[in-house]
């Protein structure tokens, strides 16, 4: 790293998305950027590890605007992400995004990447009863709030790239979505996607795509960029899992209303999410170009490549 390197303040650097970006910058020591890793806990193992790799670790909290201003101070850009699954509150996501936008505006950052998703209410208004309205005014709370929060960045004139990621393959490891044995003893993955394609990606590749966007300077400012490492049907995912695990894995297609009734926290939100991806599949895939994702991140993994690296980490229940 040279003294002229531009600082990228990375929210979520200890997590999946921001961790991918922090890693991409750290693995390119001749590149133009330096990582400032934001965390609430600079003494955590992940933060300590980032510091040992050469990142500047900086304590900040998305709920605390002043801490964000300090963390963005002197930086060229920022990667902004919220973690819905920590609190299940769309209002909190909106407030945290507004804090990041305000801090970016006050510090006059030159480029912000906001990790957003669709506000599904543009496609499925609250009056559309194909899926239930959740939390009073959302169809897919963890998507809708991110999409609604785009306005915070736009209203303040923050030079922003709106990055729309995809379903993480890592959900098979961490999110309880791995293969499970049915009553017949055969493994199955369960999604309410019918025969439609699910855009999906290795979580670490999201940050690597973000790195590609930052490296292009101003080119993607003001643009919405969707990314994916594959567009796969449930059957295709099951076939790749069967090959990788050496055991038959089936695709269990269930109706969204059945998925919503599974009872785990967020099942209704995820059931609506999958239904949105199924019912608006042409749109949803079309804005997540595999070619552009690979241009941004030449090491973009396919599902098969990701499985070869991660199959032993997938819990089999």
Contacts 24+ apart (CB under 8 A), 157-160: 157/105, 158/101, 158/104, 158/105, 158/109, 158/112, 159/109, 159/110, 159/111, 159/112, 159/218, 159/221, 159/222, 160/111, 160/112, 160/113, 160/114, 160/221, 160/222
Stretch of 34-42, 153-161, 273-281, 285-293 contacting ligand NAP, by CB under 6 A: 34-42
Looking at residues 54 to 73 of the shown chain, list those that interact with ligand NAP (rule: CB under 6 A): 60-63
Answer for the pair 150, 122: CB distance below 8 angstroms, yes or no: no
Q: 218: which 2 tokens?
A: 């101003």
User: Which of 55, 57, 81, 140 contacts ligand NAP by CB under 6 A?
Assistant: 81
Site string for ligand NAP, 144-183 (x = CB under 6 A): ---------------------x-xx--x---x--------
Check residue 14 for interaction with ligand NAP (CB under 6 A).
yes
Check residue 41 for interaction with ligand NAP (CB under 6 A).
yes
Check residue 39 for interaction with ligand NAP (CB under 6 A).
yes
E-assigned strands of 117-259? Answer: 160-164, 167-168, 180-181, 187-191, 197-201, 224-226, 230-233, 249-253
Nearest residue to ligand NAP, scored by beta-carbon proximity: 15
Check residue 293 for interaction with ligand NAP (CB under 6 A).
no
For ligand NAP, the closer of residues 53 and 171 by Cβ is 171
Check residue 36 for interaction with ligand NAP (CB under 6 A).
no
Answer for the pair 171, 200: CB distance below 8 angstroms, yes or no: no
Check residue 310 for interaction with ligand NAP (CB under 6 A).
no
Q: Which residues bind ligand NAP (CB under 6 A)?
A: 11-12, 14-18, 38-41, 44, 60-63, 81-86, 142, 165, 167-168, 171, 175
């Amino acid at each position: 790293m040279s003294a002229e390197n531009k600082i990228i303040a990375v929210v979520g650097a200890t997590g999946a998305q921001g961790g991918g970006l922090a890693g991409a910058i750290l693995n390119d020591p001749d590149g133009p950027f330096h990582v400032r890793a934001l965390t609430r806990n600079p003494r955590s193992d992940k933060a300590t590890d980032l510091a040992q790799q050469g990142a500047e670790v900086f304590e900040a909290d998305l709920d605390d605007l002043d801490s964000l201003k300090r963390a963005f101070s002197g930086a060229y850009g920022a990667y902004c992400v919220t973690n819905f699954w920590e609190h299940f509150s769309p209002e909190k996501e909106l407030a945290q995004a507004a804090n990041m936008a305000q801090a970016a505006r006050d510090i006059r950052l030159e480029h912000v990447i906001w990790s957003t998703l669709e506000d599904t209410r543009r496609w499925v208004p609250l009056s559309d009863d194909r899926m239930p309205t959740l939390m009073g005014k959302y169809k897919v709370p963890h998507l809708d709030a991110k999409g609604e929060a785009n306005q915070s960045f736009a209203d303040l004139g923050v030079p922003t790239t709106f990055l729309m990621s995809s379903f993480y393959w890592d959900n098979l490891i961490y999110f309880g979505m791995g293969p499970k044995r049915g009553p017949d003893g055969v493994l199955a993955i369960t999604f309410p996607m019918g025969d439609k394609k699910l855009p999906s990606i290795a979580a670490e590749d999201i940050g690597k795509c973000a790195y590609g966007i930052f490296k292009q300077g101003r080119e993607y400012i003001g643009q919405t960029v969707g990314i994916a490492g594959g567009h796969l049907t449930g059957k295709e995912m099951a076939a790749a899992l069967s090959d990788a695990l050496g055991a038959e894995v089936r695709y269990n297609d269930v109706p969204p209303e059945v998925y919503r009734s599974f009872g785990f926290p967020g099942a209704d939100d995820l059931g609506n999410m999958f239904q949105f991806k199924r019912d608006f599949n042409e749109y949803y895939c079309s804005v997540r170009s595999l070619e552009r994702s690979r241009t941004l991140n030449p090491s973009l993994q396919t599902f098969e490549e990701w499985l070869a690296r991660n199959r032993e980490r997938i819990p089999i229940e």
